[in-house]
């Protein structure tokens, strides 16, 4: 199974919760907006990625699973 993480920049309001929950894949820029350096989610982090998607208050974090 492959999964990739992405951010909807229009929906994001820079709460920063995603970077707290998944610091292995998400970091924040100087203004608090998330940056994903590697969009592919390793198999051992898929559960945390799903939790991060569910916890985003603006539904800006998306997980594409194939």
Q: What is the CATH number of the domain that holds 13?
A: 3.30.70.20
Task: Give mean pLDDT, residues 6-34.
Answer: 97
Residue 2 has pLDDT above 80, yes or no: yes
Q: CA–CA separation, 7 vs 26, rounded Å?
A: 10
Domain count, the chain: 1
Q: CA–CA separation, 61 vs 34, rounded Å?
A: 9
27 strand-pairing partners: 35
Residue 58 DSSP code:
T
- For residue 16, what are the domain limits? 3-65
Tell me what pLDDT residue 46 has.
96
Contact (Cβ atoms closer than 8 angstroms) between residue 40 and residue 2:
yes
Q: CA–CA separation, 36 vs 24, rounded Å?
A: 10
Task: Give mean pLDDT, residues 35-55.
Answer: 95
pLDDT category at 30 given cuts 50, 70, 90 is very high
């Amino acid at each position: 199974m492959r999964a990739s993480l992405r951010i909807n920049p229009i929906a994001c309001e820079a709460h920063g919760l995603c970077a707290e929950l998944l610091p292995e894949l998400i970091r924040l820029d100087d203004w608090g907006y998330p940056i994903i350096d590697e969009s592919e989610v390793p198999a051992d982090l898929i559960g945390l990625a799903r939790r991060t998607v569910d916890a985003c208050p603006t539904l800006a974090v998306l997980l594409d699973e194939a």
